Structure 1
Amino acid sequence: MQIRARARGGAVMSAHPPIVLPGADPHWPAGEVFNPAGAAPLVLVCEHASNRIPPGYADLGCGTLELARHIAVDIGAAALTRGLALHLDAPAVLCSTSRLFVDCNRAPFEDDWIAPVSDGTAIPGNAGLSAEERHARAALVFEPFHALVGETVAAKRRAGAAPLIVAVHSYAASLDGVSRPPVAVIWDQPEPAARVMAALRREVAPVGDNAPYDGRRLHGYTVERHARPFALRRLAIEVRQDLLGEDDGVAAWTRIVGDAIGCAI
């Protein structure tokens, strides 16, 4: 079962009324909750699950090749997230829109929230945006998605749970010629990260420990908005995208990562 959120007047940035640009679809689904009745004290989030661009934006001037790259989507992360939701019996919130349109894991109005250049590639549809255009994207995708995350976390808390928040991502196999580990845990709390990493190391090596990103310095907007203010435990999982390209790979990593997360809930 899935619940889809749509941009509505009550689910936008409080300081600005909803704005939809001419030609855009006001009913664009900003996100989905997969396995909403999952009973585990856990909420999975996948902010970069999709490479879709809302109608009316001409794919931001990007071609098919650009929209298939990691700049547009965390390749394999959506399938992994859904697999984890079923493996662990947990709800998962997935964004339905490409990070190129608006990055739901970045703070509003920071430079990379709507990036005009991503990994050296110009994004024509993001160049020179007005404040009105930025607010329109917030109203269409960003705030409705975070409303879904917030309500999913709140439902767990109302039920008496203090859920573990896990963000699920994928990354390229190498960067600047340097190979990356098959899996990494990004954290700003020693626990539950230590237990998850210990479980992963029983299955694979090496395991990235706050590498290639350090969660103590930059953990992402979702955690800052939905976990840290409530003192909820949190971490992010990164899996190499080349390991998630086939169904067998997704199934294998669902078990490996799912069993590791299970050690912390």
Structure 2
Amino acid sequence: MGAREDLTADEAVDVVNRDGRGCVVLVCDHASNFLPREFGGLGLDSAEFARHIAWDPGALPVCLELSALLDAPLIASRISRLVIDCNRPLNAPDLIPEISETTVIPGNLYITKWERERRIALAYEPFHSAIDELLSQRESTGQETCLVSIHSFTPVYKGVKRPWDIGIIHDEDERLARPMVEALRRLSGITVGVNEPYSPADRVYHTIATHAHPGDLPCAMVELRNDRIADTAGQYRWAGLLAGILSQLKPSGGDPAGCFRHSSVH
């Protein structure tokens, strides 16, 4: 984690390649472990901010490479999920987590309503507003769009090993998830989870559902095991693999859902 500094709401989100012409729009909710100095470490040792509790390690480099390969716009939060989790409903109990995995976050205990609203205004609202603005811009110009969020997960959670290399998360809209899963399963040596290690029931699908469903945009959430993307080689490998799959699924013929009409994933 870099040196702590002040951050304004205008700086709380990065929009990369805003005018990208690809049909994929990328979202990275947990891109950064950055903690503005006003939070004073949240009562944690600085080493904790390298862990998955503070961000999704490796997810942003994968997103940046995917953005370049697909000419895809990318919206990424610049503030640690320990300040506020942009991928949770506002009424979620873990919107501002008091415990992450087994680690207590002292600075998040007993926060006031004023502090909660301040964090929402600092990081949550700018992130979601940036997504809304970008999608509205694309809709106004008739660009075909599907929405993909990129996350990473820890190989061991609360002592339980997770066998998957990648998980594809979806709800009832499987237009994008199903062909992605099918393509991944055709590759040797990759263990693919469907709604693993998380599912929408875990409240992890908030960003996708909020921004994709109103416009009927094909959508999916990707979870990459973070030890698979811990270095540049792994990040490039998985970005290239996902780019190859997504580029083959690009909608065509003026029908944004045209190539995503599939039955249920099993």
Q: Same fold (TM over 0.5)?
A: yes
| Secondary structure of the structure 1 residue equivalent to 2:38 | coil
One of 177, 185, 202 as aligned partner of 2:168: 185
Contact 1:186 1:236 in 2 (8 A): yes
Q: Deviations over 1:42-74 (max 9, x none)?
A: 210000000011121102112122111000010
The code of the aligned residue for 1:193 comes to A
Measured after TM superposition, the shift of residue 120 of structure 1 is: 1.2
After the TM superposition, which residues 1-265 of structure 1 pair with which residues of structure 2 at under 5 Å, given as runs? 25-26=7-8, 29-175=11-157, 176-188=159-171, 189-203=173-187, 204-215=189-200, 218-265=203-250
Measured after TM superposition, the shift of residue 201 of structure 1 is: 2.0
The match for 2:261 is none
The normalised TM-score by structure 2 is 0.86
Contact 1:34 1:92 in 2 (8 A): yes
**Residues 209/184 of structure 1: CA separation in 2 closer, same or farther (3 Å cut):** same
Contact 1:187 1:216 in 2 (8 A): no
Instruction: Give, in whole Å, the separation in 2 of the partners of 1:249 and 1:25.
Output: 31
| Secondary structure of the structure 1 residue equivalent to 2:116 | helix
Measured after TM superposition, the shift of residue 113 of structure 1 is: 0.2
CA RMSD of aligned residues (A): 1.8
Contact 2:88 2:204 in 1 (8 A): no
**Residues 67/28 of structure 1: CA separation in 2 closer, same or farther (3 Å cut):** farther
Measured after TM superposition, the shift of residue 27 of structure 1 is: 5.5
The match for 2:257 is none
The match for 2:259 is none
Which runs of 5 or more structure 2 residues have no equivalent in the other structure?
251-266
Instruction: Give, in whole Å, the separation in 1 of the partners of 2:7 and 2:201.
Output: 38
Measured after TM superposition, the shift of residue 122 of structure 1 is: 0.9
The normalised TM-score by structure 1 is 0.86
**Residues 24/133 of structure 1: CA separation in 2 closer, same or farther (3 Å cut):** farther
Count of residue correspondences? 243
Instruction: Give, in whole Å, the separation in 2 of the partners of 1:61 and 1:114.
Output: 14
Measured after TM superposition, the shift of residue 25 of structure 1 is: 4.5
| Secondary structure of the structure 1 residue equivalent to 2:221 | strand
Seq. identity, %: 33
